[in-house]
């Protein structure tokens, strides 16, 4: 498959969207933890893992998008 500029822009946009939305989710989760919200430990662990995985996915998509963007110049 050959990447076009529109594919690169889409990958970069999805990566940015993941970082923004999961950054906000991380802040909300941290605020809930700091305020003493009582949840099972599994809740905090599962959501923390979800955040880390999605930021890693954003990094991968951003990397692919950036490479494709540079190739389509």
* pLDDT value at residue 2: 84
Question: Low-confidence residues of the chain, pLDDT below 70?
Answer: none
* pLDDT value at residue 30: 96
Residue 26 domain flag: no
Domain, as residue range, for 72? 41-73
Q: How far apart are CA 29 and CA 33, in angstroms?
A: 6
Residue 21 domain flag: no
* pLDDT value at residue 10: 97
Total number of domains constituting the chain: 1
Residue 52 domain flag: yes
pTM: 0.86
| Distances 22 to 14, 42, 72 between C-alpha atoms, Å | 12, 19, 29
């Amino acid at each position: 498959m050959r990447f076009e500029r529109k594919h690169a822009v889409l990958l970069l946009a999805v990566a940015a969207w993941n970082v923004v939305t999961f950054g906000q989710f991380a802040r909300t989760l941290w605020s809930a933890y700091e305020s003493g919200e009582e949840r099972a430990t599994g809740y905090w662990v599962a959501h923390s893992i979800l955040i880390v995985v999605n930021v890693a996915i954003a990094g991968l998509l951003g990397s692919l998008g950036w490479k494709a963007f540079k190739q389509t110049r």
